[in-house]
Amino acid sequence: MKGTPESRRKVGAPVAGRDAPVRAVILVGFMGAGKTSVGRALGRRLGWRFQDLDDRVQASEGRTVEDIFRESGETGFRRAEHAALRELLAETEVGPPMVLALGGGAFVEANNTSLLEAAATPTVYLDAPPDELWRRCGADSLVRPLRREESAFRQLYETRRPKYLQARLRIETGGRDIEHIVGEIVSNLGLESPS
């Protein structure tokens, strides 16, 4: 999944060794990086549907992420997350093109990495400085079970960041307008907006 010369191939072009075109873009990154906001805007610009993995997990489980963590622990949440990711990747093979935002921990799980590599779908790491991520997470109303105290938050960011850097493309979101971020993704991945 590391960036390669093929990284700039147009989405929709056949993937080496496969007959099917790429049918999704996957946004990864730490909590507060803007995956949902950017994903919605990217989906609108491309005319693709947008799906947030955490939303799919909650719909499948009939519980909030917070409730899943409290009642089933992180292990139970990761199991449900993996099943939801498998479903969504299968949908990209037959349904309309999709922009998919993964939760902050999904991309660092080895079983999810295997699914993503097999899907050969472009991954985009949305990054921002930890101070800004901490502020964003504190300012929104979303309950984040792994956002407890700032030093643990920073440590988790530093632990996960090397894995995020394995995404095909890294985009800085700190202090930037969503439309500019979307434009950079479209340009770097060679995506075409609908005419």
Q: What is the pLDDT of residues 67-118, one digit of tens each?
A: 998 899 889 999 999 999 999 999 988 889 999 999 888 999 999 999 998 8
Please compute the mean of the pLDDT values over residues 145-158 and round it to a whole number: 75
Helix, strand, coil percent content, the chain, rounded in steps of 5: 55, 15, 35
How distant is the alpha carbon of residue 182 from its chain centre? 14
pLDDT for 193 beyond 80: no
Read off the pLDDT of residues 43-73 as tens digits, 9 standing for 90 and up.
999 999 999 999 999 999 999 988 998 899 8
Q: Give the predicted TM-score (pTM) of the model.
A: 0.82
Residue type, 155: Q
Whole-number pLDDT of residue 15: 39
Residue 33's identity, in one-letter code, is A
- Using DSSP, state whether 124 is helix, strand or coil: strand
User: Cα–Cα distance between 133 and 153 in angstroms, integer?
Assistant: 9
| Amino acid 74: pLDDT | 87
In this structure, are residues 30 and 161 in contact, taking their beta carbons and an 8 Å threshold?
yes
**Rounded CA separation 9/175 (Å):** 28
Neighbours of 27 (CB within 10 A): 28
- Model confidence band, residue 159 (pLDDT cutoffs 50, 70, 90): very high
* Cα dihedral: 14, 28, 53, 5 (round 10): 0
Q: Residue 105 in 3-state DSSP?
A: coil
pLDDT at 126: 96
Delineate the domains of the chain, giving CATH numbers in brackets: 22-189 (3.40.50.300)
pLDDT at 148 over 90: no
Whether the per-residue pLDDT at 166 is higher than 90: the answer is: yes
